[in-house]
Amino acid sequence: MADDVIGELERRAAEVLAMGGAEKLAARKAQGFLNARERIDYLVDPGSFVESGRFARGIRDEVREKTPADGKVAGFAKIAGREIALVANDFTVLGASSSVINMKKIRHVKAVACGRGMPLVLLGESSGARMPDRMGAAGRAILAQDPTEYQRLRESPWVSALLGQCYGSSTWYAAMSDFVVMRKGSIMAVASPNVTSIAIGKPVDPEDLGGWRLLTGVSGLADMAVDTDQQALDAVKRFLSYLPSHANEPPPEYPVPPGSDEACRGILDLVPESRNKVYDVRKIIRALADRDSAFELKERYGRSVATVLARLNGRSVGFIANNPMFKGGALDPDACQKATSFMVLCDSFNVPIVFLVDVPGFLIGVEGELRGMPGRIINWMNALSLVTVPRLTVILRKSYGQAYINMGGGRNTDELACWPTADLGFMDPRVSVNVLFGVKEEDDPERFRELVAQVDRDTTPWELARLYEAQHVLDPRDTRSWLVRMLEVHRLRLRGGVGQHRLANWPTSY
Same domain for 227 and 275, yes or no, is no
Closest CA relative to residue 234, chosen from 310, 172, 295, 185:
295
Same domain for 160 and 52, yes or no, is yes
pLDDT in tens, 153-183: 999 999 999 999 999 889 999 999 999 999 9
Mean of the pLDDT values across residues 381-392?
96
Same domain for 331 and 411, yes or no, is yes
pLDDT in tens, 42-68: 999 999 999 998 999 988 888 888 999
Strand locations in 103-178 (E): 120-127, 158-167
Question: What predicted TM-score, i.e. pTM, was given to this entire model?
Answer: 0.92
Alpha-carbon span 27 to 38, nearest angstrom: 14
Instruction: Write a three-state SS string for 23-83.
Output: HHHHHHHHHCCCCHHHHHHHHCCCCCCEEECCCCCCCCHHHHHHCHHHHEEEEEEEECCEE
Report yes or no: 242 and 119 within 8 Å, Cβ to Cβ: no
Identify the pLDDT of residue 3: 77
Closest CA relative to residue 250, chosen from 45, 390, 401, 459:
390
Report yes or no: 180 and 222 within 8 Å, Cβ to Cβ: yes
Q: How much of the chain exceeds pLDDT 90, in percent? A: 71
- Residue 227 located in a structural domain: yes
CA distances from 251 to 52, 194, 345, 441 (A): 28, 43, 12, 54
Lowest mean pLDDT among 190-194, 235-239, 288-292, 451-455: 451-455
For residues 484-503, one letter each, b for 16 or more C-beta atoms within 10 angstroms of the residue's C-beta and e for the rest, the string is bebbeebbeebeebbbebeb
Q: How many CA atoms lie within 13 A of 67 on its CB side?
A: 23
Same domain for 408 and 479, yes or no, is yes
Could you tell me the pLDDT band of residue 368, with boundaries at 50, 70 and 90? Answer: confident
Identify the pLDDT of residue 309: 98
Alpha-carbon span 499 to 193, nearest angstrom: 43
- Residue 455 located in a structural domain: no
Which segments of 300-391 does DSSP mark as H helices, in order? 333-348, 366-370, 373-386
- Residue 171 located in a structural domain: yes
Strand locations in 80-185 (E): 82-89, 120-127, 158-167, 179-183
Same domain for 353 and 235, yes or no, is no
- Residue 452 located in a structural domain: no
- Residue 258 located in a structural domain: no
- Residue 271 located in a structural domain: yes
Q: Which residues contact 166 (CB under 8 A, 6 or more apart)?
A: 124, 125, 126, 174, 186, 187, 188, 189, 210
CA 361 to chain centre: 24
- Domain end: 241, 276, 291, which one? 241
pLDDT at 438 over 70: no
Burial of 510 (0-12, 13-18, 19+ CB in 10 A): exposed
pLDDT at 139 over 80: no
Same domain for 295 and 419, yes or no, is yes
pLDDT at 435 over 60: no
Closest CA relative to residue 362, chosen from 408, 404, 299:
404
Could you tell me the pLDDT band of residue 367, with boundaries at 50, 70 and 90? Answer: confident
Longest dimension (CA), the chain: 103
Amino acid present at 139: G
- Residue 179 located in a structural domain: yes
- Residue 380 located in a structural domain: yes
CA dihedral 58, 61, 63, 69 (to 10 degrees): 30
Identify the pLDDT of residue 509: 80
How many domains, in total, are found in the chain?
2
Q: In what order do the strands lie in the sheet with 415-418?
A: 295-297, 305-312, 315-322, 353-359, 391-399, 415-418, 472-473
Report yes or no: 98 and 131 within 8 Å, Cβ to Cβ: no
Same domain for 221 and 272, yes or no, is no
Closest CA relative to residue 157, chosen from 188, 180, 190, 186:
180
Alpha-carbon span 483 to 461, nearest angstrom: 18
pLDDT in tens, 100-138: 888 899 999 999 999 999 999 999 999 887 877 766 666
Amino acid present at 231: Q
Which residues pair with residue 79 across a beta bridge? 82
Same domain for 63 and 163, yes or no, is yes
Mean of the pLDDT values across residues 281-298?
98
Alpha-carbon span 215 to 166, nearest angstrom: 12
Report yes or no: 21 and 71 within 8 Å, Cβ to Cβ: no
Same domain for 233 and 299, yes or no, is no
Identify the pLDDT of residue 255: 98
pLDDT at 423 over 70: yes
Other CB atoms within a 10 A radius of the CB of residue 146 amount to 15
Lowest mean pLDDT among 19-33, 287-301, 305-319, 417-431: 417-431
What is the radius of gyration, based on Cα positions, of the chain? 26
Report yes or no: 71 and 264 within 8 Å, Cβ to Cβ: no
- Helix or strand or coil: residue 418? strand
Same domain for 293 and 216, yes or no, is no
Mean of the pLDDT values across residues 75-98?
94
Report yes or no: 476 and 267 within 8 Å, Cβ to Cβ: yes
Which residues pair with residue 315 across a beta bridge? 312
The domain in which residue 54 lies consists of: 32-144+153-241
Give phi and psi for 309, each to the nearest 5. -80, 140
Lowest mean pLDDT among 84-88, 136-140, 291-295, 460-464: 136-140
Identify the pLDDT of residue 106: 93
Same domain for 169 and 40, yes or no, is yes
What CATH number has the domain bearing residue 215?
A: 3.90.226.10
DSSP per-residue letters across 402-444: THHHHTT-GGGSSEEEE-TT-B--SS-HHHHHHHHH---TTT-
Alpha-carbon span 437 to 310, nearest angstrom: 45
Closest CA relative to residue 434, chosen from 443, 466, 138, 497:
443
pLDDT at 149 over 60: yes
Identify the pLDDT of residue 143: 65
Identify the pLDDT of residue 275: 78
Identify the pLDDT of residue 1: 63
Identify the DSSP state of 290: S
Same domain for 52 and 158, yes or no, is yes
